[in-house]
Structure 1
Amino acid sequence: MNSEQHMLCTKALSFAMKKIAYLDFPAYGSLYFADAPLDSDLKIPFEQGFCVGPHCSPVFWNRDPGEHELHRGPSPNCGPWKDLTSYCRGLVDTGFSRLPKEAVNDRELLPHQGSIEDHIRLLNISREVIQKLIEDKRIQEAATPALLHPDFHKRNIYVSAGEPTVITGLIDWQSTSIEPGIIYARETTDFAEPPRVPVEDLLENEQYERELSKEQERELTDASICYQTYDVIMTGITPKLRPARLLDPTLFRLFHYCHTSWRVSAAAVRQELIELSARWTELRLEGSCPYSPTEAELTQHARDYDDFEAVQALKSWLRDNLDTNSDGWIPNDAWDAAKVAHRTTYNDWIETAKEAEARGEDMTVAKADKMWPFDAR
């Protein structure tokens, strides 16, 4: 596809999502047929033979691959939820249900993961902070129930072989749910990701001009155009998403993390709480923040968050170099080559850790192995 086709395809996909986002719903949850085999108290009537029922994401039901035996069972609070307060209660209740069933040996965890006790404390704090946040009118206006595709990425999109700007199908709808707009606010699909190097730098920085090939320059320009196209449609002319996308992300990132705190780590949740506490007045929030970290907590968190960022940087680097996603998904025809590349990359990573450990640095082979995000070794 050429640059114009990329832009037109992005435009078509964005308008498809805009149509879906226009639908109005009476509650948060997932969409079911009215005669679905659910208890009547788990059905909120919706028009034309449908109802809103429990949230169908595997996160709420303890059905993520490989995690069934780890956690405590399905969330006791899967919805549907008629208001934002109930929805947020469901998030925190789910966070508790996703903690391990049994105590975990701290030596098996990276420091930034946090103990079960750390997560219990952070979830209780998150409950208090979220309750204060949802009293803010800006959050309320940005939390309108909205339906969007849950995994809106290139591998789930079909286009016409003869005219690639024509969308012929979207697949992978099984986790589709009705969420507050703030949950979808900052999602950017892979076909509209911001360019890694700003296009304006290509024009101003001679070093970039020397180092980047014409093909790389074209790809960066394409990425910039697609990102701007998607952003204009999602922010400018999609009413349910506009208030959320214009909000300072600090106001709503905690909603994204609290129900998966064990998976994302204690450091990730604590970072959001610390930033909210530090910027509470600047963000024009009423009263005082329920969370006020001590100096000792801040010092320890700084060390843990360095580890967290190192893991995220490793994941990002692996995604780029192995051409995969955060779950390690690889298309069938690329699997053999990806396995070889993965093995080589892992061996290089461990060898680097050995050298660092020999020099007496903080990185060790054991720590490097724990940081590796994929099961294969």
Structure 2
Amino acid sequence: MVRLRRLCWASVHIRTRAPARRGLTIQAHGKDIPPQELFRYNHGRFLVNEDYEQAKRYSTFDIDALCQMVAALATVRSPIVKIDKREGGYNKALMMTAENGREVIAKIPCGNIVPREYGTASEVAVLQFVKARSRSPVSTVLAWSADPSNPVRSEYVVLEKSPGQQLTHVWDTVSESDRVQLIRGFAQLESSLATIQFPGYGALFLRHALPPSLKEDPNRTIAVDDDYCLGPLYHGSWPGGFAADPEEYSQHSGPWRSLAQQGILQVRNYKTSYAGRGPHYGAPEEHIHMLERATEVIPILAESRTLRCHSQGILCHPDFHPGNIFVSNEDPTVIEGVIDWQFTSIMPRFTQVRWPLFLNPPEGYQTGMANPELRPTYDREAKPHDQEQAQRQEQAMRTKCYEAALVKSHLESYLTLTGTDVSIRQLFVGCPCTYRDGIVPLRDSLIRIQQQWNRLGLPGRCPYQFTDEEIARHEVQLREYQDWLKLGEYTHQMLQSNDGGWVPPHVDFDKAQAKHERLFQHFVESKKAKMSAEDARKLWFFRNRG
């Protein structure tokens, strides 16, 4: 057996230009590709730092060993004849079809982005937990490994294919009554997760399959029950980001560490984000000073009656949108699958419960059981039949539908969503992210909490005090920061891009690149009267590494 295995390894290294198995078809976007293209990222381009972004997403694995492992699964038992690459930002998602027609999904994490061992182990734990203990329909895990020294030579998760079709394919065509029924279904799924209580905060892991470092030090985990425990969080806010050594930053990532301390560690010890920096980003010393103020006030807030009611640790899907929801082919109101649970964490309810992105309240929306009418001061110039105004009103109706459904399915989540002060929520969420977002949002939360101290029912006096002069200067900077955010959103829409400069594959990249250059030059020129060209470049929404 050992000799056979060695021969198999040798054959893998020799056959680098041929399919991993005779007759195996490998495709991406409907076109045949050579095996090496499975390792590369080819789902879109990047306006800046393209070589770096491509390298982050380059992941090798043993194609032959993967096919053999999947073919041997009890639910497959047939040779693999086709691989269809469906790539994501953090994983290679491979649709694998067997000779007998059986289809499964193999996820290969991008090892330069997803923290080694921690990411796979926690994702599998979440999938198994959600499937066993909630009503959310998730795919069964057929096989997995968080040890990159396995025969596949990469971490992997093999999943049953989710039945049905993506909601994005039918959302614009279904009737409004069907949308209402779906929205009620969303609220019920989210609520079924929110009722599950946890003894702390962190990422979920299987107790019998912990990463080695957690297995060696049981003090770094919190038991949930006999099968599960909480361990370090693993997301983009970990000190050092995805590029750092997982063991190094997991030491600072819970499940018990302060979020403000994570922010301080990030600023003191690691490089900052390469996303665009807004105006008044702040020097490292200012970041640390504000984060230290946060460490003073967070314990007081945590003991307040308001937060104690909403601080229970809960599990929540991290990216609930139509692309991650599968509905029945026969009845689009029936939700048959929810995918992409990577980076799920257990955190306080008041930071977890939020509006689904595609049901976000439009500007002027008012919560409560009143009719979903936008405030009359919003866009009062709009004509009665203005299409954009009608779309906003339609969005308000759907948001109100979700709000009403949440009241019925889980009142605690509704009260958390509508009753937690925005400044308090932003303080807790933003502390680990000043390196990315700049200091203005965190400073704004701290100022609002100081100003509303008595209204929030907090004891004594706020432990820090901003002067009137500091507040006035902040208000000016906040307006400039908000204007920059709006311009950034408009720029992303024009380029059909995101914060990282990613352009989807259906967009003509050469045209997007040319448009980007024109917008960039216009932006620098528009700032010439107030700052140098070098400072203006630092404010642009896409930053080159260097």
Say whether 1:79 aligns with 2:254: yes
Conserved? CA contact 1:153–1:189, under 8 Å: yes
User: One-letter code of the match for 2:444?
Assistant: Q
Structure label with greater radius of gyration: 2
User: One-letter code of the match for 1:44?
Assistant: I
Call closer, same or farther: CA 1:159–1:342 in 2, change over 3 Å.
farther
Residue by residue over 1:341-370, the C-alpha shift from the partner in whole angstroms, topping out at 9 and shown as x without a partner, is 46425513532541552xx3x266444432
| 1:1-377 map, 5 Å | 1=173, 2-37=175-210, 38-39=214-215, 40-47=218-225, 49-60=227-238, 62-64=240-242, 68=244, 74=249, 76-81=251-256, 89-99=257-267, 101=269, 111-185=279-353, 187-195=354-362, 200=373, 207-209=381-383, 212-213=386-387, 216=388, 219-235=391-407, 237-245=409-417, 246-327=419-500, 330-332=503-505, 334-336=506-508, 340-341=511-512, 343-351=514-522, 353-355=524-526, 357=528, 360=529, 362=530, 365-375=533-543
- Of all paired residues, the percent bearing the same amino acid is 26
Find the aligned partners of 1:158 and 1:63 in 2 and give their Cα distance. Answer: 31
Per the alignment, in what secondary structure is the counterpart of residue 56 of structure 1? Answer: coil
Residue by residue over 1:67-99, the C-alpha shift from the partner in whole angstroms, topping out at 9 and shown as x without a partner, is 649xx9515332223xxxxxxx42122111211
User: One-letter code of the match for 2:399?
Assistant: Y
Per the alignment, in what secondary structure is the counterpart of residue 208 of structure 2? Answer: coil
Conserved? CA contact 1:44–1:80, under 8 Å: yes
Find the aligned partners of 2:303 and 2:474 in 1 and give their Cα distance. Answer: 28
Q: Specify the alignment match of 2:88 in structure 1.
A: none
The one of the two structures with greater contact order (alpha-carbon pairs below 8 A, sep at least 6) is 1
Call closer, same or farther: CA 1:52–1:103 in 2, change over 3 Å.
closer
CA root-mean-square deviation: 3.4
Find the aligned partners of 1:330 and 1:235 in 2 and give their Cα distance. Answer: 39
User: One-letter code of the match for 1:143?
Assistant: S
Q: Specify the alignment match of 1:84 in structure 2.
A: none
Which structure has more helix as a fraction of its residues?
Answer: 1
Find the aligned partners of 1:179 and 1:351 in 2 and give their Cα distance. Answer: 42
Per the alignment, in what secondary structure is the counterpart of residue 382 of structure 2? Answer: helix
User: One-letter code of the match for 1:169?
Assistant: G
Q: CA deviation at 1:156?
A: 2.1
Q: CA deviation at 1:222?
A: 3.4
Find the aligned partners of 1:373 and 1:68 in 2 and give their Cα distance. Answer: 24
Per the alignment, in what secondary structure is the counterpart of residue 74 of structure 1? Answer: helix
Conserved? CA contact 1:75–1:97, under 8 Å: no
Residue by residue over 1:183-240, the C-alpha shift from the partner in whole angstroms, topping out at 9 and shown as x without a partner, is 124x322221223587746999895236723xx4664343222211222233554244
TM-score normalised over the length of structure 2: 0.58
TM-score normalised over the length of structure 1: 0.81
Find the aligned partners of 2:424 and 2:490 in 1 and give their Cα distance. Answer: 28
Task: Give the length in aligned residue pairs.
Answer: 356
Conserved? CA contact 2:524–2:537, under 8 Å: no
Find the aligned partners of 1:247 and 1:11 in 2 and give their Cα distance. Answer: 23
Per the alignment, in what secondary structure is the counterpart of residue 112 of structure 1? Answer: coil
Conserved? CA contact 2:234–2:250, under 8 Å: no
Gaps of 5+ in 2: 1-172, 366-371
Residue by residue over 1:136-169, the C-alpha shift from the partner in whole angstroms, topping out at 9 and shown as x without a partner, is 1111111011110011123322233443322232
Q: CA deviation at 1:42?
A: 2.6
Per the alignment, in what secondary structure is the counterpart of residue 331 of structure 2? Answer: coil
Conserved? CA contact 1:112–1:308, under 8 Å: yes
Gaps of 5+ in 1: 82-88
Q: CA deviation at 1:257?
A: 1.0
Q: CA deviation at 1:180?
A: 0.3
Find the aligned partners of 2:374 and 2:357 in 1 and give their Cα distance. Answer: 22
Conserved? CA contact 2:277–2:540, under 8 Å: no
Conserved? CA contact 2:207–2:227, under 8 Å: yes
